[in-house]
Structure 1
């Protein structure tokens, strides 16, 4: 069983316990364990097989009881407590709280007062007026929920980039061990690094396609087989994603890789370019008068129409062709360009690891610096710190820094932006910090003008360096705030404030589109992880992927700079 499956089960239990108004500490224990498991780079099942319950308990946030639950999940696919809870609440009821505007209390109210236990029944009730008179349900609330239902429907069948990567990487790793396979590639939207993925497309070359098909459908990640042919097979994975594999001729592998990677518009445009040159491009190669003239590599495909190689992340059918033709494609940022992470939480607020544990982990990642940015006093639910409490943390960071060479821990905080745009720490304290990351953590439904003004006011504070997760979206669960994004970008440019690309897989905020617009306006981006466990520092890869989709280069990102240059950038507003 994969980590994401185990984490999903624990998240569900925390939500079911919320329905029952159980002890909040118990609920948070499940949530913390789930979050920590999501960020683990190693297989939880493998850890258990090698070290048993003891190995599970060594993972931050996993105590005796939850370790026993995980053991049962690994052995049986579920555990007793969850089964008992699901008897009280149908699965469809659990899905309701994935709709923006529906929390556990609201869901329980709808169940008790109107017998509503599914998204379908909820939508029908709102449209028929059946919720009229129900406490807390006015016209505005109902419209917000309908918008949330619409948003939810758009994401049905889509999976987070991180989840798709988890499965695809396992499949590629296992299939790569098969001696009959010569070339292997994950294509499709996954290769373009889209924020959500529908299915996994895999290409291979082999002199024995039947052996490849047989191995593919027998993978442990497979739930059921949809089709098994001589050169193509399709399966449903245990996370309900579809995965397809095709074995193609080596002489057209590049053409197939290009065809199955680019989106529809990209492929149409390159075919149109080929026609004008008297050529035909398909997944089988590049042809002139029915004779294949190219297609063994992707480079050959692009060269055949006079283009330089276009990176997969840019193959969206926009202006990548014009840039490639003129030689103006960006030198996209790469993961090794990142020198540090400027948004990390420790045990001083709601993080799972101590600052020293995080620092040691970051050093192993070959980072040159990190910023510890724990929550501030308004976010008490995340153990946000008072001004007095954070002073102790800053003193601790000074002590730790004295023991490191060629590595620095920056003193920071993720400071709440209050509804009027002020911050919940005074300037006298903010000036003691190296990094001030400002964020909205409440009142997400403010009117467009008010929310825009709120964030712009915060950026005008000379101590604010970075606006964290600027649009507030949570992919598949919460749409962005209503914002005048152009005004936000303009104010960031005018004030010299940096915008964050939050690498949490369910955020990826700024989006690729907004990253590109920020680049055009000369705004620098901070690619951060918002890590709450040391392992989730590896989420940086998803932020970098989104940055690449946004045409960002290393020079557009502040945390690609060495520490001396970074400090100048951080103190530039003061």
Structure 2
């Protein structure tokens, strides 16, 4: 492997190690250790290579023992892992490829490779079409067809679809099905319920007095392009756009355990099952079985399910096996930020630049949401964005904002700007005018291909500017369209903490920037965050739910979010003189 070993690649190698060891029938504890290591590495806020370079002890990480720490160091040092390569080479060719297909586990992949000689996705597809897979494994045509659909769905969507694309489709489906007679519960599960930024498919869970009628309505929806399977309580379909959706209906009293099981994450559920096995309890989608008596208990709610295990309820967004179970056992999970905590928005655009609505329209929409304050932060003029504000137009807008603020009751308007951080770290407006604003949001929009060292210096220089308040969408990524910029986020977080700057959690569904693991790390370092919508029209204010979800995944409480604070505290934090700000 060329270049510095990245955490994502390292995690993939350890996950494959676990699969390979499972195929070989190795010790289950060893297999779990590698899976746990893969999960820990995937969610580290810093690169392992950086940690080693700074002399950190990898064994201090949860679930990382001496043997795995040594292998992590070997991967960073050499780009290779002899144990993994030896194991891989001892197994049939193409096994790794088969393991990437949803629905195919290690042992099935091994049988496909050894008994049918399959080493590629194309060969597997052909074998299914010829009936060999259904015959060999006695799976039946339906299961074989499901694998076939997984293959084709995987190709169509390149494995994962952005959350922002999937959620509106799911909400249309739920809106159509929830009013049906007898429906009591109907919610998404899986990655969507945990608000993962991308997802592979949709799991819907529900209960109804007549589940078969709900299933019939589901497969008949206009969003359904193809029906893969249909039974009295379950159906699988392909939606417009290639997304697979499964609907499962159960009896009312079993809904809680079903929802918990299919919400996941896989790592969370494995950790939960392992812990409860020691207490003589077996967990499943059907409920909790006492192994001593073989008695099954059913649960209509997740709250009751977790309570039976002696645990505090665990919010779906943090079910990722990152210490939440230990905290739940101690009843120590904090109250995470909620929509009702948000008191304003500090990054909003109008038709003075590239927004579509007027100052007053945006202000009244924010007031209707119950917000106490709203910062107008149109683009500066150096970006080539239509209507970007130069000094003269910014001064005029400031005056317009002050005048509107005097007229409006029940909401405070703040005059701001989203100023571009130039390639050398300077801002494209002078300090003199920035000092007269309530809020200065700085962001990178150009020269995105700079080296990590240059980009880091560029952003750090902007953070040193005393007039900058917020760093917007810090990694500049567009999910599924543009990779994040190369930047040392640890250095950025350290600088933000040092200079008391605010880092944005951008709620735009194609950004979700910062992402959850970065939010977690920034919060650990004491950096204050802001959940902003980057709204360009009134309807965009509703996108705040995406930013809130990312903040929750980063374990944020209201205290970690600036715009959960009342106006007075926000103004105090921004360190602006009230009388000067009012005269503009």
- State the TM-score, normalizing by the size of structure 2: 0.70
Q: Does 1:341 align with 2:370?
A: no
For residues 503-522 of structure 1, the aligned pairs below 5 Å read: 503-522=507-526
For residues 48-447 of structure 1, the aligned pairs below 5 Å read: 156-288=158-290, 289-447=293-451
Kindly report structure 1 stretches of 4+ aligned residues shifted beyond 3 Å: 152-155
Q: Does 1:490 align with 2:494?
A: yes
Aligned equivalent of 2:474: 470
Superimposed CA distance per residue, residues 64-88 of structure 1 (whole angstroms, 9 cap, x where no aligned partner): xxxxxxxxxxxxxxxxxxxxxxxxx
Quote the offset at 1:503 in angstroms: 0.5
Superimposed CA distance per residue, residues 207-260 of structure 1 (whole angstroms, 9 cap, x where no aligned partner): 322212111111122112111112110111123211111111223211110000
Quote the offset at 1:302 in angstroms: 1.6
Q: Structure 2 CA distance, aligned partners of 1:423 and 1:235? A: 51
Distance change >3 Å, CA 343–CA 172, structure 1 → 2: same
Q: Secondary structure at the match of 1:223?
A: strand
Quote the offset at 1:294 in angstroms: 4.3
Quote the offset at 1:297 in angstroms: 2.0
Is residue 513–residue 550 contact of structure 1 (8 Å, CA) maintained in 2?
yes
Query: Which residues of structure 1 form unaligned runs of 5+?
Result: 1-151
Is residue 285–residue 295 contact of structure 1 (8 Å, CA) maintained in 2?
yes
Q: Structure 2 CA distance, aligned partners of 1:382 and 1:236? A: 40
Is residue 185–residue 202 contact of structure 1 (8 Å, CA) maintained in 2?
yes
C-alpha RMSD of matched pairs (Å): 1.8
Q: Secondary structure at the match of 2:425?
A: coil
Is residue 224–residue 237 contact of structure 1 (8 Å, CA) maintained in 2?
yes
Superimposed CA distance per residue, residues 445-486 of structure 1 (whole angstroms, 9 cap, x where no aligned partner): 111111011101101111100000001111111111111111
Quote the offset at 1:517 in angstroms: 0.8
Superimposed CA distance per residue, residues 328-356 of structure 1 (whole angstroms, 9 cap, x where no aligned partner): 21211001111111111111111111111
Is residue 464–residue 499 contact of structure 2 (8 Å, CA) maintained in 1?
yes
- State the TM-score, normalizing by the size of structure 1: 0.72
Q: Does 1:455 align with 2:459?
A: yes
Q: Structure 2 CA distance, aligned partners of 1:155 and 1:529? A: 27
Distance change >3 Å, CA 323–CA 154, structure 1 → 2: farther
Is residue 285–residue 296 contact of structure 1 (8 Å, CA) maintained in 2?
no
Q: Structure 2 CA distance, aligned partners of 1:398 and 1:301? A: 53
Q: Structure 1 CA distance, aligned partners of 2:501 and 2:184? A: 49
Q: How many aligned residue pairs are there?
A: 423
Q: Secondary structure at the match of 1:236?
A: strand
For residues 515-530 of structure 1, the aligned pairs below 5 Å read: 515-530=519-534
Q: Structure 2 CA distance, aligned partners of 1:440 and 1:154? A: 32
